[in-house]
Structure formats: structure tokens, C-alpha cells
Structure 1
Amino acid sequence: MRRRAFIKSLATGLAMAEVLPAVGRELATQLKGLRADVAAAATPDAMWSRVRKEFMLEPGFIHLNCGSLGATPRLILDAVYEYMKELELNPVANEWGPLGSRMEGVRSLAAEFLGAETDEMVLTRNTTEGINTIASGLQLESGDEILTTDHEHAGGMIGWQYLARRYDARIVQIEMPAPVKSADQILELIEDNITPRTRVCSFSHVETITGLQMPLAAISRITRPKDILLVCDGAQAPGMLDVDVKALGVDAYASSSHKWMLAPKGSGLLYIRREVQSRIDSAFLFSGYRGYSASSGTRNVPHLIGHGLAMDFHNALGRDRVEARCRQLCVYLRQRLSAFPTLRLLTPTQPELSSGIVTFGLEAGSNGSIFSLLKGNGIRVKVVPGTYVVSGLIPWLKSRNHNALRFSTHVFNSEADIDRMVEVLAGELGPAKDG
């Protein structure tokens, strides 16, 4: 079923690119050429070398922080710029005419990308906006509980902090182990913390701190029979993992496409399962879920078209191929860094619990000093705090210091990038162990 929808989306995406004059036809040609080059590559190394040519990263710069922001391919940026110029030739007519009409096509592409139906998809700017839309549309009673973890991002938590303060509700945080040993360990922690007052469970699909992939399908089998709304922070998954929200069983899923999907900055998606939509009374959704509505207001149409082009780009490469590459590089990075005695792995190694993110804690020294060392050598990673939550709003929320660094690998990276980073680290951490 998803396969048929996927094939249809490829045709739709390229057809959409051809609707407008030169820019659309040129883009369709480039995507077809990319797909042909990938298919014809003699070796995997040759294939990924070809893909890396699509990116504009500075020569010598190693970007290992896609978990914060991805690198948008040149062909997408060029197209967005051309669509911006197209819009300004006749602003009103194009905003609500030839250009604006493509927003619904992007929404349909997004639905296929996440395994949803079009009427369950909303085009947003980021994960924060998506979760805030959910949280601001819910009604709770004093004493109700929102269950989450202490490994959530501030963007995924701020809506729940607002909701808790508004209704005098309680946020319950599970203290997550690092690394997690098994899915059963997670499920037991969740079951132990659910009470008769739990109304919402909010978890990341892929944790921003450790890269743990949460067992959402199993979690949904706990929450749905209890009529607990399961909301997912999906900032770190679409574009890295091949996501199917129906298979995951979540009620709502918010993501940031400017990370792993490599879309223009300020691109996001929100899925809301049809059966729970009546429970979410948000002003942003008051006029419906369409790309443009009275409650959404005027949209940045060229930017939203670029969002759809990022999905076309992933489809041209093959989403399963992208996921495999992200994982392959992450395993290689994990193996190389595990050889340093002063680094402690915080990410699970099991494939079903891991992702394209790996995090290491430092047994000695500070993550800030290692970050600065790498930055000075043209390598960008992420300093990992104990928690991202805005503790100033609710001071009792837990906070820990992992003294860690997070590494994210995507299709523009290579084994040589990782080898270069290991060389730099060896000068500070000492030689790695053999084997």
C-alpha cells in the first residue's frame, strides 16, 4: 500500500516541478539525473561521492551536527530563489494562483512521506510550533498529569510547560538511563509512571540528547487503551529514518524538516490522527489543515515549495538507502570513538534503539573544550547539556549534566570525515586503543 503511494508521489512531485516554466522543468531534469546517477554508480563510495556534490558545504568543513540543522542541497535552494523571483513578478496572482496552489501538493507529499492521510497533515515551521499547536488546543483539569522524560528538547517541552501552568497540571519526568539497555526497560519506566491522572504522554521519536530511538509502537499499545494522548517530538527522525506514523501508533507527530530532511530553514510538519482531531481546539487549526487558510494567514509559498522539493530529493535517493547510510556512518563513528578510554558511550547499540545520532560522555575534561578544539579544526558537533527544558518556568523540573558531545551523520558525510575527527581528538585525548 505504501509502495503504491510512494510511486504515485514520485510522479506527483516531478509533475509539480514541471507545472511552472523554466525553473520547474530544470528541477525535474536535475532530480531525474540524480536518480539515474545514483542507480548507475559502480560502487557505494562512488554513489555517495556523487550525492555529496549536491551540497554547498565549505571545502574542508565537516558538518556532524545535522541534529541541529541540516545542509540544504543546492538544487533546492536555487529553485526556491527562482520561485521567489517568480512570485514577485505578479505577487497577488502568484501567491494565490500558480504558486500558491502547489501548497496542497506539498501537503500530500508530506502525508506520503510520513505514512499519513493528507487531511491529517499540517505544514508548520518547526517541531516547537507543532507541539505548541497541540498543547494550546488541549483542555486539562487541575491535577492532571503530562508524562515525559528528562531527555526532551526545550522546543518539545515549552508547550507542556505552558499547558501545565495554565491548568495547574503536573509534568512527570522519567529519568532516562544512558545508555538504555532494552525496550522493555523503557516500557517498564513508562508503565510505572502512568497514573489515573495521566492525560498526555509526550516522547521523542529519536532523543535529542542520546540518539535513542524510542519504541513508540509498543508505547502506543500502553497509552491507547487508556485513552492517553500520545504525542511525539519527531524533530530528529524524518529524513534519517523512514517514518510511518500509522505503524508507530502515535496520536500526533511534530517534526522539523530543516534537520534531517534537509529542507529550507523554518520547515516543519505536524500529523494529527483523524480520530483525535476533535480534541485539539487550536486557533492555528481553526479554519482547517490546508496549506493556506484564514487561521494560517499568508504563507511563504516559495519556501513551502522548497519543503516539498526536499521530500522529492529524498525520494530520488531512496529513503531506505538514506536511512541505511545514516546508520552505517553512525556505527563507524561509534566504533572509532569507542576506542578512546576517556569517552563513555551514552547511546544504545541495538539497531531498533539506535539511529543516526551517537553521543559520548567525557570521563575527564569538559565537553566545551573538546567542542572548541573540533570547531577550531573545522568540525562541527553538538555540546550536550543534561537537559534542554526551560527550568526557569517550572524550577522543579529535573536537570542533569552529562558532559557529553553529540555526533550526527548524514549523506553529505563520509568515513574520511570521521577519520579526520578521530585524528584531531587523538591529539587531545591520547591514542585510541587498538581494535
Structure 2
Amino acid sequence: MPDPFWFRVDAVTSFGRSLRDQWYLDPDLTYLNHGTVGAPPKAVIAEQFRLIEEIERHPARFMLRELADTSGEATEPSRLRRAAAAVAPFVGVRADDLLFVENITTGANAVLRSFPFDAGDEIVVTSLGYGGVTLAAEYAARTNGCEIRTIELPGPGAAPHEYVERIEAGLGPKSRVLVVDHLAATAALVLPLREIAEVCHRNGTLVLADGAHVPGNIGLDIESLGVDWYTGNLHKWAWTPRSSGVLWAAPEQRAHLHPTVISWGLDHGLTAEFDLLGTRDPTAHLTAPFAIDLIHSHGEGAVMSYNHQLAWWSGQFLADAWDTPFTTPESMIGSMVTVQLPPRLGGTAADAERVRTELDRQRIEVPVAAGGDRLTLRVSAQVYCDRDDIELLAAAVTALA
């Protein structure tokens, strides 16, 4: 099939399998699942180990006096605040407003479990939401006497405006908070978050955005999106070690926001509360600036462009190889793409696991999901992947079918 978008990557042809030796990934493994838990480069892991050694040379000084400031009397920024200052421009927030969390599930729990819901409020989720976060919303509803409302959203193939219209139509007068993905995990769709926030606010509904897959996947400017809270992972697409994420709250939502673990930072400001939650390994957060600098060294725009165009090409190539429909608009694809598998492979969860297991036996790592009596497969395109990986996957699935 024609390659109308591939020409754009000519300036970054050094990407692909030639970069695999910069990752610890098994060289005999076709790894197309970067999005699930990330995979930091060797250089990033080396920096994390350097920090571990620095901590162990004087643990008390590092952990108790340098890591975080819970007194407000420090004469220079703490280690975590310096890291926050380096990460903040990458995600489009002010350094003082960036909070580190272990992952987006932790960030979403912090918001949902500290928000002052009233009995009878609705917490709204969508059918594309990540299961763990949806469970957190259900728990918050249960403990606050709230109701859960689920809005059914279309899968791949719908136009961006259809997602906005579905959400607008699905909100009610008691809808207090909407939890919505910026980039839906299983469907791999970039949703029109700014427009969704606008219709929610017209209804008086606040917006908690799940950006688990966004930092490093597509360009991100959180403050421009108009949401009330945003949480995203750095350990997926931003090459940061596991586990590290960020949380941001609009100014009017900060007074009642607290981490799920209360410790020495209480009553010393929001950053102090989130920076010191007791003894934990801070090195993933502290390594994030190095990881982001490494992305910049390759060219942030070049990395995202290569990944996007490989994902976009993969969707068309695989659908053509398997004779399945692929109608997702390019504007809704970042660095991942979901493609329908041949119908003869089945449509149940058991079928999905059977296909995934068989691909695993062939040294291909890729997630397979069941839904709507069909199977889908999600490809993550990272700079160590190339067309050869996709062609190998196409052949393996064709042989299974």
C-alpha cells in the first residue's frame, strides 16, 4: 500500500532496530508493548544507579535533609523540587505546581479520595477508561454516597467531535466530576480533551484527565487544556524508570487536595505533602530530568514524529494484511495504534489470551484484547522499533489465522 506519511522521517533514519542495543530488551524479542509499563534506556538506568549509590553514601543526609523541604525554611530548592523544575516545561506547567506521584493511579486516587463530594453527586467515567482508575472512581462513589455514571464512547473509527458530543449528551445535572482519558489505553485513541473540558464546564462538571500514556507520546501543555486535574506517567513514554508520574491541579482545586498517604508535609503546602510521604525510593523521580534530556538529545519532535508515523503506517499495513477495517483518523493516533484481528481468531477473552500466548511463544510481545465479539491488538511504536517488526507481527498473526 502507499506510504504517504513515511517520507517525513527521512531526517531521523537512525531510529529503528539499530537503537536496540541502547535498551536492555532481549535482542531476540520483537517488543511492541512499550506503552504498558515502559522500558527505560540503559543510560537512564545507569543514572538511576548513580543516584542510588549517592544516597547510600549518606542516606540520612540525602533522605532527611536534601530530598524534600517540609519546613519551608530551606535556603535552596530540595532535590525533588529541582527535579520538578526540570520536568515542568516538558509537560507544560509551572515548576511549583508540579507534584510527583508514583503513577497515574496514585494521582487519580489522590484527587478522588480528597475531593469534597456531596451525597448524591455523580462521578462520571467512560467506557474507554482504564480499569484501575474506574475502580478508584467506584470506591470514591461508594465511600461518599455518590453515584457512578458511565458514558459509552465509540471505538476507533469515529470522528473527534463524536466523542465530545457523546460526553455532552451523557452528563446530567448532578455530574460533579468526569474522569476521562487523554489517550485511551486499550483503544489507543487521542481524545479531544480541550473540547471535552469545555462542554463539561458548561454543565458545571469538573474534569480529571488520565494522561497515563501522554508525556513523551504526544506534545503536552497541561495548562492549556482547561482541565481541573491532570495526571500522567513519566515511566511509559518519557523514558523514566518505574515508577514515576506527575499530578497537576488547577489553582481552585488545590486547597482540598491531599496525597493518599499523609505524612510530615501536612500543613506545609501542597508540594511538601506530595514530596515526603515517608521512606520510599525517590530515584525514579530524580532520574526523570536525565531521561527527558536524553529524549531532547535525539530531538523531542523527531522522536514523536518517528513513533507516530510508524504507528500510523502500522495500522494501515496490518489492517491491509489481515483484511480488517481501519478507519481511525490520523489526528487521533499518537505513538500507539489498535488494529482489529481477523474474525476467525475469535472474540472472547479466552481467545485473546490464546493469541497473546501463541505470539509470546514466537517471541513477539504485544497486548491482545477482546471486546464487542472481536479481538484487537495494540502496537506501541518506539524508536527501537521499525517496519521489520510490524511485518513479522503481520506474518505471525496471518499464520495463526
> Does the 8 A contact of 1:374 with 1:424 survive in 2?
yes
Shift in alpha-carbon separation, 1:293–1:231, aligned structure 2, 3 A: closer
Q: Helix, strand or coil for the counterpart of 1:338?
A: helix
Q: Report deviation, 1:262.
A: 2.0
**Percentage identity across paired residues of the two chains:** 25
1:13-92 equivalences in 2 (<5 Å): 44-48=12-16, 51-92=19-60
Match of 1:230 in 2: 207
> Does the 8 A contact of 1:292 with 1:299 survive in 2?
no
1:377 is aligned to 2:356: no
TM-score (norm 1): 0.80
Q: 140, 149, 155: which is aligned to 2:126?
A: 149
Q: Helix, strand or coil for the counterpart of 2:169?
A: helix
Q: For 1:118 and 1:402, how far apart are their aligned partners in 2?
A: 44
1:4-403 equivalences in 2 (<5 Å): 44-48=12-16, 51-97=19-65, 101-282=78-259, 284=261, 286=266, 287-290=268-271, 296-341=277-322, 343-345=324-326, 349-362=328-341, 363-365=343-345, 366-386=351-371, 402-403=374-375
Q: For 1:308 and 1:382, how far apart are their aligned partners in 2?
A: 29
Query: Which deviates the most, 155-164 or 220-229?
Result: 220-229
Q: Report deviation, 1:260.
A: 1.3
What CA RMSD, in Å, does the superposition of the two structures yield over aligned residues?
2.4
Q: Report deviation, 1:330.
A: 0.4
The alignment of Structure 1 onto Structure 2 pairs a total of residues equal to 374
Q: Deviation string for 1:362-418 (max 9, x for gaps)?
A: 3222332321222111110012244xxxxxxxxxxxxx6653222111112111211
Q: For 1:235 and 1:404, how far apart are their aligned partners in 2?
A: 20
Shift in alpha-carbon separation, 1:125–1:420, aligned structure 2, 3 A: same
TM-score (norm 2): 0.86
Q: Deviation string for 1:71-104 (max 9, x for gaps)?
A: 1110111111122112111111232456663211
Q: After TM superposition, which residue ranges in structure 1, 4 or more long, deviate above 6 angstroms?
A: 291-294
Shift in alpha-carbon separation, 1:54–1:223, aligned structure 2, 3 A: same
Q: Deviation string for 1:49-74 (max 9, x for gaps)?
A: 66444212111211111121111110
2:25 alignment partner AA: L
> Does the 8 A contact of 1:143 with 1:169 survive in 2?
yes
- Structure 1: which 5+ runs fail to align? 1-40, 387-399, 430-435
Q: For 1:63 and 1:324, how far apart are their aligned partners in 2?
A: 19
Q: Helix, strand or coil for the counterpart of 2:252?
A: helix
Q: For 1:234 and 1:120, how far apart are their aligned partners in 2?
A: 17
Match of 1:389 in 2: none
Q: For 1:119 and 1:98, how far apart are their aligned partners in 2?
A: 17
- Structure 2: which 5+ runs fail to align? 1-8, 69-77, 346-350
Q: For 2:391 and 2:44, how far apart are their aligned partners in 1?
A: 30
